[in-house]
Structure 1
Amino acid sequence: MKDQILNLFLPILIIMYGTDGKVFRVSKMECRSLDPSFTYFETCKVTRMENGRSFLYINEVILYKDPINHITLNLGAFKTANNRRIQFLNETLDFCVLGQQLLANKFFKFLMTPLMRFSNVNGTCPIQQDIIVNGFSVDENTIKEIPIPNGDYMFQLRTSLLKKWRTVVRVYATRVDKYSE
């Protein structure tokens, strides 16, 4: 039901707010392991260019050595204003069937499709390697289609491995009409 409502209103939001020239300026990123005996982050950084564009780098080291075939992702999106966070998206999906669900869930598609191009994650299970995101570019060509108005946002990706929440990655960004020249 929730996806049907999203599919109904998403085109309306795109028409209302448009997507031309709307970009995200990333201010910071936080990566946190909820179980350091299972996984930890070796790298978690944002590299910002002078023109406002950013690149995200993550290297998550997984200490658990057996294949991991139960992976759940939870994506939250929050509008931030006046020291408050208003959550407008809270979606959860099974990563091991990501291929089918990615097409059904528009927000996961907007965020995960470009992210997977810059990572060693291919959307199949089991996972047996560290997770590496090497220079995910946040520019005019990535995630601009997300139909939200200008303002400050926090995007949160929580990961459950073997039925236990293990990591939280938060990206803080501002939606603007264009990057500073």
Structure 2
Amino acid sequence: MKNHILNLFLPILIILYGTDGKVFRVSKMECRSLDPSFTYFETCKLTRRENGRSSLYVNQVILYKDPINDIIFNLGGFKTVKNRRFQFLNETLDYCVLGQLLLANRYFRFLMTPLMRFSNINGTCPIQQHIIVNGFSVDENTVKEIPIPNGVYMFQLRTSLMKKWRTVIRVYATRVDKYSE
């Protein structure tokens, strides 16, 4: 039901407001472990480059020693207007069942296609290593296809490992026409 509402709402939003915004200016990133005995973040860093561009660095250490074959991702997108957040995206994906079809899901494709170039994530299950994202560039060449209008947004990626929510990563960004020159 939620997917049908989203599939209806997103095209209407695009028609009403257009997709003039071409880039995201990232202002903040937060990584939180919900179970530090299972996993923790060694690195969670945002570096700002020239003219508003930025890079994201994450090193998630997994303390669980056995292969993990139960992984659920939940991707949420929120538009911030004044002091309120309106959720426009709430997609959940079973990574181990649909990992190979990850790029078939249009919302995860926007996130995962550029992310896989900068990380050790390979789309297969089970995982046995730490998760490393080394310099995921947020610029006009990576996430420009996300069809949302200019504004302030928060993107949230929650991860469930072994049937329990373990991590939350939030990225706060502003959609703008272009980076400052």
TM-score in same-fold range (> 0.5): yes
Partner of 2:144: 144
Paired amino acid for 2:163:
K
How far apart are the structure 1 equivalents of 2:177 and 2:48?
Answer: 18
The 5-angstrom pairing of residues 10-159 of structure 1 reads 22-96=22-96, 97-103=98-104, 105-159=105-159
Root-mean-square deviation (Å): 1.9
How far apart are the structure 1 equivalents of 2:17 and 2:32?
Answer: 33
Q: TM-score with structure 1 length normalisation? A: 0.91
How far apart are the structure 2 equivalents of 1:27 and 1:85?
Answer: 16
1:61 shift after superposition: 0.3
1:112 shift after superposition: 1.1
Does the CA contact (< 8 Å) of 1:77 and 1:156 recur in 2?
Answer: yes
- 5+ unaligned residues in a row in structure 2: which ranges? none
Comparing 138-147 with 159-168, greater Cα deviation is found at 138-147
| Runs of 4+ residues deviating >2 angstroms | 1-21
Q: Deviations over 1:64-110 (max 9, x none)?
A: 0100000000000000122211111101001112222430x211111
1:16 shift after superposition: 6.1
How far apart are the structure 2 equivalents of 1:9 and 1:79?
Answer: 13
How far apart are the structure 2 equivalents of 1:18 and 1:141?
Answer: 20
Between the two proteins, what is the percent identity of the paired residues?
83
Partner of 1:170: 170
| Counterpart secondary structure, 2:147 | coil
Shift in CA distance, 86/20, structure 1 to aligned 2, threshold 3 Å = closer
Paired amino acid for 2:100:
G
1:20 shift after superposition: 6.3
How far apart are the structure 2 equivalents of 1:6 and 1:106?
Answer: 12
How far apart are the structure 1 equivalents of 2:83 and 2:10?
Answer: 27
Paired amino acid for 1:158:
R
Does the CA contact (< 8 Å) of 2:6 and 2:89 recur in 1?
Answer: no
| Counterpart secondary structure, 2:51 | coil
Does the CA contact (< 8 Å) of 1:19 and 1:145 recur in 2?
Answer: no
How far apart are the structure 2 equivalents of 1:140 and 1:15?
Answer: 22
Paired amino acid for 2:56:
L
1:49 shift after superposition: 1.0
